[in-house]
Amino acid sequence: MHKEIIHDFNQHKQWLQNYFQGEFVHPNLLKVDSEMGKGFVYFYKIHPSNYFMLFRVEARQDLNLQIDYAASSYFKYVASFFNTDLWIESNDGNIQHEIKWSGFYTCTKDMAVNGTVKKGELLKRVSIFFSDDALNEIDDLQVNQYYTNKKQFFHFFEEQTDLKAFRLMLLEILNYSDILQTKVLSVKMQELYYIFLNGLKRVDTTVGHHPRKITNNQLAALFKIRERILDDLSQRPDVSQLVAETGLDKTQIQQLFHEVFGFTIYNYFTVRRMDKIKDILLEGSMNTSEIAEKFGFTHLQHFSNSFKKYYGLSPRKFLKEHSF
């Protein structure tokens, strides 16, 4: 399949207008109501090599945005937020794999993910196209150098509290008028820019590097392992079984998982389980005994000891310090 090559911001906008058969009701707001879908695409440019695109389009047919960013010279990196489900083809093109995700990924432009949003589904995401100028704003020199020194990378970061709050506010803004949306979204995209830069600091700068581009098959396998872990955080994962089910090289897939998600497979389970426990504790929807039982701890003291080892405080003291 032919991939559109993007050369600059204005050409990117024009291509999307042609693809969606949409109409610009404002220089930054493309309204879509065609055989392709219904919704809008919002554009916001910080400067020529740093810009945002917010997509919210209900697909009236399968949407396959095949775009080649590798030849673009005016930006180097891509990030994408608030994706839900995406279908990508296997390397031989005969099988499609569904990727389920929350949070955001960032990568070098040659590793950006192209895929299909199925008819009836909602294409919803915010994409950022950026250069080294953005990375130079990270207030951690080691992290800045980690990204800028790598020829290729693909990293995924789970959605944290700041992004969850941002996403909820974004949903409210979608109810505003077109004129007000264009004004408020410019402010929100600037806010997301700084949330994004702060999020990049969570990368594990000590992890090794896979020397070749991650294939679609490998990417699908990595997210499948992640999905299996998140489906049941009460049970320790059988890492060997999870890896074996991918049918891919064991050492390679474990290395890639660590590189993409920032943790070994087992440590990823531990971090996600404790993050989920913390959220439930702060919500107040369950007491400590119920949480301990839900997440597979043998008894309440086991849970309290594990929580304190991870967060440095007992559940009671943690709740006291982090509640308003």
How far is residue 154's CA from residue 91's CA, in Å, rounded to a whole number? 18
Tokens representing residue 244 in the block = 């074996």
* Contact (CB, 8 A) for 53 and 66: no
How far is residue 311's CA from residue 274's CA, in Å, rounded to a whole number? 9
Residue 259 lies in a domain: yes
Which of 71-85, 139-153, 176-190, 262-276 is predicted with the least confidence, judged by mean pLDDT?
71-85
Q: What separation, in Å, do the N-terminal and C-terminal C-alpha atoms of the chain show?
A: 54
Residue 56 and residue 167 in one domain: yes
Tokens representing residue 78 in the block = 């891509």
What mean pLDDT, rounded, does the chain reach?
92
* Contact (CB, 8 A) for 192 and 253: no
Q: Give me the CATH number covering residue 172.
A: 2.60.120
237-238-241-244 Cα dihedral, nearest 10 degrees = 70
What is the three-class DSSP state of 88?
Answer: strand
What is the pLDDT, as a whole number, of residue 86?
85
What is the three-class DSSP state of 42?
Answer: strand
161-167-169-172 Cα dihedral, nearest 10 degrees = -150
How far is residue 116's CA from residue 125's CA, in Å, rounded to a whole number? 13
In sequence order, the 6+-apart residues with CB closer than 8 A to the CB of 186 are 28, 44
Residue 141 and residue 182 in one domain: yes
Residue 78 lies in a domain: yes
Q: Give me the CATH number covering residue 252.
A: 1.10.10.60
What is the pLDDT, as a whole number, of residue 313?
95
Which of the pair, 212 or 312, is modelled with greater confidence? 312
Q: Please report, rounded to a whole number, the percentage of residues in the chain having pLDDT higher than 90.
A: 77
Look at residues 205, 244, 250, 242 and name the one whose alpha carbon lies nearest to residue 224.
242
* Contact (CB, 8 A) for 13 and 30: yes
Residue 21 and residue 159 in one domain: yes
Residue 31 lies in a domain: yes
Residue 271 and residue 186 in one domain: no
Residue 31 and residue 142 in one domain: yes
Number of Cβ within 10 Å of residue 106's Cβ equals 23
Q: What is the pTM of this model?
A: 0.91
Residue 208 lies in a domain: no
Residue 210 lies in a domain: no
What is the three-class DSSP state of 149?
Answer: coil
Confidence tier at 93 by pLDDT (50, 70, 90): low
In sequence order, the 6+-apart residues with CB closer than 8 A to the CB of 238 are none
What is the pLDDT, as a whole number, of residue 2?
55
Mark which of 178, 202, 226 sits at the end of a domain: 202
In this predicted model, what pLDDT tens digit does every residue of 244-280 receive, in sequence order? Answer: 999 999 999 999 999 999 999 999 999 999 999 999 9
- Residue 1: is its pLDDT beyond 60? no
How far is residue 219's CA from residue 253's CA, in Å, rounded to a whole number? 9
